[in-house]
Each structure stands twice: as C-alpha cells, then as structure tokens.
Structure 1
Amino acid sequence: MAELGVADHLAHGPLDTEELAARCGAHAPSLRRVLRELASIGVVRPSGDDRYALTEEGSVLRSDVPGSIRSSMRMLGEESFWYAMGKLPETVREGSSAFVSKYGELYEHLARHPEISRIFDDYMTARADAFTRGLVTRYDFTGVGTMVDVAGGRGSILATVLRANPDMRGILLDLDHVAAHAGDVLAAAGLADRCQVVAGNFFDSVPSGGDVYLLASVLHNWGDDDAVRILRNVRHAMKPGGRVLILEVVLPDDAEPHLGKDLDLRMLAIFNGGSERSRQDYAKLFASADLELGQVVELGAGASLLEAKPI
C-alpha cells in the first residue's frame, strides 16, 4: 500500500479497482487481492461493487498528512533494508553486518543509488518531524548566534529551529550528494540568506565558530571510536563556551519496553559498530572528547536531547 501510493490515490474519494490499478501502475487482479486484505485490517473499506475508500486509519499512509508513516513503511520494505533484517541471524552469528557484506557501508550504498537515497531522506525527514517540534519548544536557544547542524540532511531540522529563532544563523554540513538538496530545502523555506550549506565529511573537520553544534541521529551510526572522533572535531571547532547537542533515542538502563531497543536491532543489522546508547554510554563518549554531559531534555517520540559542554 505504501510503495504503490494507494492512500494518495484514494485521498479524494473511492475508486474501483481497475481505476486504482491504472493510477498505481499495478496489475488489477493482483491489486484486488491486496485490497481485500487491506480492507480486513481496516486501512481501506469497501464502498460499492469492487470499489474501495480510504479509512481514517489508512490515511496515515498518505504522503501529504502530518505524522505520515508512508516513508517509514517504504524504507522498511526497501530491498536492501529488508535483506538486512532477514539476515539478522547471520549478523548475530558472525558479529558483523550481513548488509555491509553485501551492499557496503550504508551511506556509500545510498550515494550509489539515488532512488534509495530519496526514500531514506524522506524517511529521515518524516521521522524528525515529531521530535523537532519538541526541540524548538523544550530547549532554550536564547543567545545562540550560529548553530551548526552536523550531518544535517536536507535541512528540515535546521529550518525549523531557524524559523523559531529569527535572530539565529545556521550552517549545515553534509556529504556532497546530500548537501546539494539541502540548499534547495532551505531556500524554499525562505532561509537562504541565513544559512550556509557546506559539503564535507565530519571525520575530516566541521565548520568552525558555531555557538551550538547539533548532531541529530548521527552518533548512533558509529562505533565508540568513530563517535569520539566526530565529537573531538566538534569540540575543536566550537567557540569558547559553545555547546554540543546530541539528539538521539536514549536507552533505559532497565528491562522496560522501549522503542530504542527495536531500533538498536536495526542498527545491528545495518551497521558495523552503530548502536543506540544509554545516558551513561553517552557520558563516557563525551568524557573521551573532553566534554561533559549536562542536561537531558525529553523531546517526545522516543527522542532525547543531550547537552554537553567543554570540560
């Protein structure tokens, strides 16, 4: 349903299967069988002879609604990501990612396949939406002149923070193939005159002179040594009195159910070394980079903001 865009095509009213198949580019008899199953789980409903309508539950699979999960479903079902989870037993047996063995490092894989990269970027943008609202309402950016968004993707988080803080300027750093799209997003948001987009690799360096450095869903991609290397580059680049903000899912120290524990298995499947971490784990990383953990702000949607300052 997500990949074929069924919810988008049903957004404006019921369609019969033949018409819906034509719009989706699908084989009508096969789609008819899928619709029968979708109706049984409540995301579409019959609306006359061989006609289907979208339900309220199914509307979250539209591309154009707040809280859409379409990009998440497409990412989970994308061939290489599906392979990663299917090969999780092999990864656990060997202690190294079957995904990496077959496809290479994730970001190199995405750079080679723009169509997958677009799905991934859509997913990351949608995923960030909920906790970005928490970021701008629950963290005090008073006095921040420049924020550097390290590996800032398309720039959606930076754009939200800048709109909420009109006196702030921003710098976004990301790899070449990502940074090219970020400039377009920031310009479309009317923020081109307040932003600089820099193409580069945070293992080499990060832009200097920032008051705040944001790393959102970055450190969990890397093992401890690489994470410390990134943090040291940030520590070296920041102004005196600067801060580092780490936006991640933070694992509880006990056995309670938590979204991060499911995400951690996906990190295990896709990366060699990447993992979700606890507050204590992050405190150790910061100390290794001459930083000290300060406040931790819950942002909602399972995410937290960890603030660190130079020791």
Structure 2
Amino acid sequence: MPHSDDLLWGAYGDISRFAALLTMAELGLADHLAKGPLTTAELAERAGAHAPSLRRVLRALAGLGLVTRAGDDAYDLTERGAALRSDAPGFLRSSIRMLGEEGFWYAMGTLPETVRTGRSAFVERHGHLYDYLARNPQSSELFDDYMTARAAAFTEGLVKRYAFPPTGTMVDVAGGKGHILATVLHANPQMRGILLDLEHVVDHARRTLADEGLTERTEVVAGDFFVSVPSGGDVYLLASVLHNWDDEDALKILRNVREAMNPGGRVLILEVVLPDTEEPHLGMDVDLRMLAIFNGGTERSRDEYAALLDRAGLAMGDVIELGAGASLIEALPR
C-alpha cells in the first residue's frame, strides 16, 4: 500500500502533468515529431512556441515517457506519446484539449465553491454549457471534436453488440453532428433516422449525413427535447444526454420520449454507469465534471437508472458494456 503522503503528493503533481499534456496536445507536438526527432529550436519553430519555455515542458514530457531525448537538445516521439497524434485512434487528444478549454478549466478550479453552495460556479458565471458553447464558436468546435471522437470509441461496440430492429425509424435525441446515427444506419440499411438537436447544431448534422450519403434516409429537426421529441419512432437514442440533467429534468425528457414512441418501441440510453462500490472508476471522474459544469448534472448507477425509468413508465432491460467506459441501457414501455 502506498503511503498516504505519496498519494497526496501524486495528486499535487497531477495538475502539472496535465498542463504538460495539454501543451503537447494544443501545440500538436506529437504531429510535429511524427516523422522523427527534432531539436527544441526546430520544434518550437514548427509549433509556434518559445523555445526556452518549450524545452522545460519537453523535459517534463520525457519524464512521462511521451518523448525521449535524441541528442543534446533534440527529442523524439515515443510509442506512448504517439497516442496524442491528431490521427491516432481514440479520443485522448481531444479529451485533453477539451478539459483544458478555458471554461472547463475554470469549472474544475472552482469545484470547492460549487460544493460549498450546491450551485455550479461555471453556470453562475457563464450560464448553461450549451449557451456558453453557442456564444464561443472555438470552444464549441473543440467540444464537437471531443464528442465526435468519444462517440467513435464506443459506436463500433454499439452496432456490434446491440441487435437493432431490421426496419423502422431511430430517433437520435440531441444527436449532435449525426455520427452515431450515421453509423447505425450504415449497419442497418433498411432503417431510417431522425436527428433532433438545437438550431445552431442541426446544419452540422445535415452536412454530416449528406457526406455519409444518408440524406434520403434521414430527417433533421431543430427543437427542444423538454418540449417534445419527434413522434413515431421505433428506437429512441439518448447518448450522453441524461447525465447533463438532474432527475426531474431527465424525467421530463424520458416522459416526452415515452409519449412519442411507437407501441413496442424502445429507448436506448448510452451513458457511463457507476459501479455499486466506491472502487476507482472512470465514472467517478466524469461525475465530478458533471458536478462542476452543470446544475444537477450527474452520473448514475444501474439502480438509479432503473428508478428513473420506472417513474417515466419504462422498464429497464439489458445493460450492455460498450467499452471506453460507456454502457448501453435498453428500456421498454411498461
């Protein structure tokens, strides 16, 4: 067992290590080093950085095993560091960049104030996350890139491990740019799709679905899921939606879905599901982000989802692990 002081000092150093990772991700250092070692001066020129400052960060990155010395003042990319290339599979680089975004950084830094008051300090300063993103296009682009990359990590598992109906319509509620819907429709060529999202998002979705050759099989609708969702669907997907809201707001969304769905339809909830124990789990980290960024946002356990679904007139079915920390909860009408 590590000494308690070791744990505390490890946590103390985490923010410095994250700042070094963020610098590597933001400056694209892994991309610049992808073809071989560079001197600090060469790397600084390509990354648009101050060489003496960059040298100090590279020293820290070498300690993390992400780069390695390749001469007196040159560095090379390691296999571990290659995970931060822009073309690397997974969503590590986009996650780091999103967590280092100014508003997200502020949210985590003011978590003590949020815990003191029970109100998100981020929301008190910036308003709801999606209003903040609408006002800040660069942040919105970072967030969209993160969500797209994150979705790619578990969407493959979604279409491989869940048996969608061979025909019918899937409604992707708050479907973002439409990458999950596109993947499901490609895997199920007799299905049709409807994507619902906010006005400032739907044009991106239309472009994605057009690029995927799915315009004729899809409809994109601008709307508010607290008011209503498109009716007549056989499958309703809520991917990373309910964790943004407290139980009462999540219940409004689920009841709107329950009212709109076809008889015999189903609801698919794609979220992190917390374990019943307090063992280390990705969901615990994500839950603190929800606490910091949203008023009422929360990750939930299987029992908490079952209780929420029951109040909405739905019964929990299978819970399927998809990888990348995500699970798929199937819910059926009661």
Q: Same fold (TM over 0.5)?
A: yes
Corresponding residue for residue 153 of structure 2: 130
1:96 to 100, 116, 119: 119
Q: Secondary structure at the match of 2:226?
A: coil
- Deviation at residue 61 of structure 1 after TM alignment: 0.7
Corresponding residue for residue 55 of structure 1: 78
- Deviation at residue 49 of structure 1 after TM alignment: 4.0
Matches for 1:137-286 after TM superposition, within 5 Å: 137-286=160-309
The answer (yes or no) to whether the contact 1:60–1:68 under 8 Å persists in 2 is no
2:131 to 101, 105, 108: 108
Q: TM-score, normalised by structure 2?
A: 0.90
Deviates more, 1:270-279 or 1:62-71: 62-71
Corresponding residue for residue 29 of structure 2: 6
The answer (yes or no) to whether the contact 1:147–1:170 under 8 Å persists in 2 is yes
Q: Aligned partner of 1:90: which letter? A: E
The answer (yes or no) to whether the contact 2:173–2:225 under 8 Å persists in 1 is yes
Task: Output one character per residue of 1:228-262: Cα deviation in whole Å (capped at 9) or x when no partner.
Answer: 11111111111111110001111122222221111
Q: Aligned partner of 2:247: which letter? A: D
Q: Secondary structure at the match of 2:284?
A: helix
Q: TM-score, normalised by structure 1?
A: 0.96
Q: Secondary structure at the match of 2:25?
A: coil
- Deviation at residue 68 of structure 1 after TM alignment: 4.0
The answer (yes or no) to whether the contact 2:84–2:92 under 8 Å persists in 1 is yes
Q: Secondary structure at the match of 1:130?
A: helix
The answer (yes or no) to whether the contact 2:236–2:266 under 8 Å persists in 1 is yes
Distance of 2:39 and 2:214 partners within structure 1: 44
Q: Aligned partner of 1:258: which letter? A: H
Q: Percent identity?
A: 72
Deviates more, 1:246-255 or 1:217-226: 246-255
- Deviation at residue 144 of structure 1 after TM alignment: 3.8
The answer (yes or no) to whether the contact 1:144–1:212 under 8 Å persists in 2 is no
2:104 to 68, 74, 81: 81
Answering whether residue 25 of structure 2 is matched by residue 25 of structure 1, we say: no
Distance of 1:222 and 1:53 partners within structure 2: 44
The answer (yes or no) to whether the contact 2:91–2:146 under 8 Å persists in 1 is no
The answer (yes or no) to whether the contact 2:65–2:81 under 8 Å persists in 1 is yes
Q: Aligned partner of 1:235: which letter? A: R
Distance of 1:169 and 1:22 partners within structure 2: 50
The answer (yes or no) to whether the contact 1:62–1:68 under 8 Å persists in 2 is no
Distance of 1:98 and 1:209 partners within structure 2: 40
Q: Aligned partner of 1:63: which letter? A: S
Q: Aligned partner of 2:280: which letter? A: P
**TM-aligned CA distance change 1:32 to 1:156, over 3 Å:** same
- Deviation at residue 131 of structure 1 after TM alignment: 1.6
Distance of 2:46 and 2:197 partners within structure 1: 36
The answer (yes or no) to whether the contact 2:154–2:324 under 8 Å persists in 1 is yes
- Deviation at residue 50 of structure 1 after TM alignment: 2.5
The CA RMSD measured in Å over matched residues stands at: 1.3
Distance of 1:272 and 1:290 partners within structure 2: 25
Corresponding residue for residue 326 of structure 2: 303
The answer (yes or no) to whether the contact 2:182–2:209 under 8 Å persists in 1 is yes
Q: Secondary structure at the match of 1:148?
A: strand
Distance of 2:263 and 2:71 partners within structure 1: 68
Corresponding residue for residue 7 of structure 2: none
Distance of 1:204 and 1:192 partners within structure 2: 26
- Unpaired runs of 5+ in structure 1? none
- Unpaired runs of 5+ in structure 2? 1-23
Distance of 1:24 and 1:194 partners within structure 2: 43
The answer (yes or no) to whether the contact 1:260–1:302 under 8 Å persists in 2 is yes
Q: Aligned partner of 1:254: which letter? A: T
Corresponding residue for residue 20 of structure 2: none
Q: Secondary structure at the match of 2:277?
A: coil
- Deviation at residue 23 of structure 1 after TM alignment: 2.1
